[in-house]
């Protein structure tokens, strides 16, 4: 097919992550528990095959989920209560993200998502009952048309604390596989092979409640990747979150390779580092497309000034400190807006 390879790759990766989540398989790195819950938004051209790929892989593997796209925080809380440890797949995620940032009635929705990300217990009262969800966990796979996403999402929205918890993947067309060569996708003969490979993978997954430990070599590989990939092309907050997710990717590669060991090793972490490098590249491209080079650098300067102010005086930074300390910030109003972005 001419479908960008990032679409089937990350779709399948999220389905595998969901199977691990359903079995409560997790990782541990330097004492910290790592649940495999990737939150990825795939950005591609209209007609690139996003929905087709998602549905076709489900059809071929037999993977199923019925987590619904719901409009309100109350309905979302009900879905999560009934289907915790699953996957939420949402089309037109850019539109949803815009609503999340611009509509006051969506603030509670956003708050629930942030608590899910942190694995924190939350409650939501409706007319009938009080919904309680303990240890919430959810994989998220979103799709959006790239150009539409750029048009509707502001730089401020991308720098928001919630947006930074998402991985952004730009799925581009392959010039070596032009559309004109694929008038119809011929997938005959692949169904049985894919189903067999999927079933073999599911059978090889670690047992329920298994914890996969990052061993010493794996930890050194993570440190090496972190130092090698460290860049100023994206804000530090984006970079650190991408590198934290790479531990989840290492767990996924471990099970994709059908390893019997319960240790995440250098090889697993090495593959994860490659994936992190791709996401750093895509994030940098996305931020640049939104003209966010200047804004991101300003926020990093403010964060550095904030830490210096607190360590030297023990006092919190004020907008006037930003105006006097950073040449590119012209007035107190602008400083206040930038400080609010940093604090989100």
pLDDT band, residue 294 (cuts 50/70/90) = low
| Count of C-beta atoms within a 10 Å radius of residue 120 | 12
Indicate whether 322 pLDDT > 70: yes
Q: Is 194 left (phi over 0), alpha (psi -120 to 50) or beta?
A: alpha
Mean pLDDT score across all residues of the chain: 91
Q: Where are any strands of DSSP class E within the chain? A: 26-29, 32-35, 39-44, 86-90, 122-125, 130-133, 138-145, 167-171, 211-214, 263-264
- pLDDT at residue 293, as a whole number: 59
Q: What is the mean pLDDT of residues 174-192?
A: 91
Is residue 167 within 8 A of residue 38, CB to CB? The reply is yes
Kindly indicate the confidence band of residue 125, based on its pLDDT and cuts at 50, 70 and 90.
Answer: confident
The answer to whether 250 touches 272, Cβ cutoff 8 Å, is: yes
d(CA 313, CA 336): 20
Residues linked to residue 170 through DSSP beta bridges, in sequence order: 43
* 289 confidence band (pLDDT: 50, 70, 90): confident
pLDDT in tens, 209-268: 999 999 999 999 999 999 999 987 888 888 999 999 999 999 999 999 999 999 999 999
Q: What is the mean pLDDT of residues 193-221?
A: 97
The C-alpha atoms of residue 106 and residue 104 are separated, in whole angstroms, by 5
The number of angstroms, rounded, from the C-alpha of 198 to the middle of its chain's C-alpha atoms is 24
pLDDT digits (tens, 9 = 90+) for 28-79: 999 999 999 999 999 999 999 999 999 999 999 999 999 988 888 889 999 9
Distance CA 89, CA 11 (A): 10
Which range among 67-76, 110-119, 202-211, 288-297 has the greatest average pLDDT? 202-211
pLDDT in tens, 41-53: 999 999 999 999 9
269 with 222: CB under 8 angstroms?
Answer: yes
Q: Are strands 86-90 and 138-145 parallel, antiparallel or unpaired?
A: parallel
Predicted confidence (pLDDT) at residue 328 exceeds the cutoff of 90: no
Q: What band does 296 get if pLDDT is binned at 50, 70 and 90?
A: low
Question: Which DSSP symbol is given to 119?
Answer: T
């Amino acid at each position: 097919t001419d479908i960008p390879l990032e679409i089937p790759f990350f779709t399948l990766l999220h389905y595998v992550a969901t199977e691990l989540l359903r079995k409560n398989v997790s990782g541990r790195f330097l004492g910290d528990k790592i649940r495999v819950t990737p939150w990825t938004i795939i950005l591609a051209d209209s007609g690139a095959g996003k929905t087709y790929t998602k549905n076709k892989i489900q059809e071929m593997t037999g993977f199923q989920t019925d987590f619904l796209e719901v409009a309100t925080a109350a309905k979302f809380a009900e879905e999560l209560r009934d289907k915790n440890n699953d996957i939420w797949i949402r089309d037109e995620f850019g539109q949803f993200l815009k609503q999340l940032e611009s509509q006051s009635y969506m603030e509670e929705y956003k708050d629930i998502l942030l608590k899910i990300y942190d694995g924190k217990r939350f409650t939501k009262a409706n007319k009938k009952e009080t919904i309680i969800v303990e240890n919430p966990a959810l994989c998220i796979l979103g799709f959006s048309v790239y150009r539409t996403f750029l048009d509707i999402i502001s730089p401020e929205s991308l720098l928001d604390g919630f947006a930074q918890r998402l991985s952004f993947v730009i799925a581009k067309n392959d010039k070596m596989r032009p559309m004109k060569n694929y008038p119809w996708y011929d997938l005959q003969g692949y169904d049985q092979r894919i189903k067999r490979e999927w079933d073999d993978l599911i059978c090889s997954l670690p047992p329920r409640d298994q914890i996969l430990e990052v061993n010493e070599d794996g930890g050194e590989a993570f440190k090496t990747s972190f130092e090698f990939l460290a860049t100023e092309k994206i804000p530090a907050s984006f970079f650190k979150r991408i590198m934290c997710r790479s531990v989840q990717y290492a767990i996924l590669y471990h099970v994709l390779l059908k390893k019997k060991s319960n240790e995440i090793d250098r090889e697993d972490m090495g593959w994860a580092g490659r994936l992190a490098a791709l996401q750093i590249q895509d994030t940098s491209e996305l931020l640049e497309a939104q003209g966010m080079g200047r804004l991101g650098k300003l926020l990093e300067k403010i964060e550095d000034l904030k830490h210096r102010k607190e360590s030297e005086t023990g006092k919190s930074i004020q907008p006037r400190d930003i105006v006097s300390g950073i040449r590119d910030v012209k007035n107190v109003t602008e400083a206040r807006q930038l400080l609010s972005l940093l604090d989100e």
